[in-house]
């Protein structure tokens, strides 16, 4: 029996470098911005506001670097987030630079132009990073929706009773069914990492991709359907209460002989 394993899969040094890139980008721009803020003496209120405008997006990028490092994302996804952040920062910097150049050509001087440029780049980096995360999440949810919903079968499922409808919907989703088999047949709670590793070996795909799909889509849905109990904080998955009709049906079906190998080896 596979035991609960709370360890994260080993990541390569190059994978972590994407997270470091985002964090260093925030630190570098933050230091540059604060240097501009305190370059000349100004009223404390003005300096406080300017410092806040620099520190807030800089800390957001630093935290985003930590967040990227702790998420189970593939090498490509991590560097995609870092690239979007850099592109957003450079794009905002170019826009601000264009504005400053136009003002200079007409003879208008912009106060604290360097500070304005740094704040623009910080804000652009945050926007680019948020756009990358939102795009990846939408891609995962769209792929999962296309995989589980079919036009031909939806009408038949909707005509069933609520517990039977839930079970039928779950049974049509191979990855969700693997998850339910793992949880139902295990004699102890399972970590999401353990389930992801088992499913990845069955589907011959990457563990990171399965983990991301589980935590962002399937486990929250299974928990909402009453099929499992999922603690997102600790990453532990347990069978739902035995009195649930859905759970009773799932456990009975999970123990039937199946052409596919069960993800839990006893």
Structure tokens belonging to residue 239: 């069978």
User: What local confidence, expressed as pLDDT, does residue 125 receive?
Assistant: 92
Q: How many CB atoms lie within 10 A of CB 167?
A: 25
DSSP state of 10: P
Encoding tokens for residue 84?
Answer: 């979007």
Q: What is the pLDDT of residue 261?
A: 45
Residue-wise pLDDT tens digits, 168-217: 566 667 788 788 888 877 778 888 888 888 888 887 788 888 888 888 88
User: How far, in whole angstroms, is CA 149 from its chain's centroid?
Assistant: 23
Task: Supply 30's token pair.
Answer: 């933050």
Distance CA 122, CA 20 (A): 16
Write 8-12 long-range contacts (CB < 8 A, 24+): 8/72, 8/193, 9/72, 9/193, 9/197, 9/207, 9/208, 12/75
- The model's pTM: 0.54
**What are 48-80's pLDDT values in tens digits?**
999 999 999 999 999 988 888 887 677 777 888
Contact status, residue 206 vs residue 20, Cβ threshold 8 Å:
no
**Structural domains in the chain plus CATH codes:** 13-147 (no CATH), 151-254 (1.10.10)
In whole angstroms, give the CA distance from residue 71 to residue 195: 16
């Amino acid at each position: 029996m596979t035991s609960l394993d709370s360890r994260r899969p080993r990541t390569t040094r190059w994978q972590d470098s994407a997270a470091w890139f985002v964090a260093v980008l925030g630190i570098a721009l933050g230091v540059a911005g604060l240097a501009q803020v305190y370059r000349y003496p100004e009223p404390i209120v003005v300096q406080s506001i300017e410092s806040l405008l620099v520190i807030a997006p800089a800390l957001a990028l630093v935290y985003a670097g930590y967040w990227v490092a702790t998420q189970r994302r593939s090498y490509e996804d991590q560097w995609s987030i870092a690239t979007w952040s850099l592109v957003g920062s450079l794009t905002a910097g170019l826009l601000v630079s264009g504005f400053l150049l136009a003002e200079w050509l007409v003879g208008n001087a912009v106060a604290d132009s360097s500070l304005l440029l740094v704040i623009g780049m910080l804000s652009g980096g945050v926007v680019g990073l948020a756009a990358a995360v939102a795009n990846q999440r939408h891609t995962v949810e769209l792929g999962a929706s296309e995989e589980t919903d079919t036009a031909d079968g939806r009408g038949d499922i909707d005509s069933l009773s609520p517990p039977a409808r839930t079970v039928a919907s779950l049974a049509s989703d191979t990855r969700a069914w693997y998850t339910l088999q793992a949880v139902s047949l295990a004699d102890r709670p399972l970590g999401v990492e353990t389930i992801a590793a088992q499913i990845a070996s069955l589907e011959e795909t990457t563990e990171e991709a399965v983990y991301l799909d589980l935590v962002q889509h399937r486990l929250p849905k299974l928990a909402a359907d009453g099929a499992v109990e999922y603690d997102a904080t600790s990453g532990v998955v347990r069978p739902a209460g035995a009195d649930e009709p859905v759970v009773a049906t799932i456990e009975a079906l999970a123990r039937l002989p199946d052409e596919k190998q069960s993800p839990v080896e006893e």
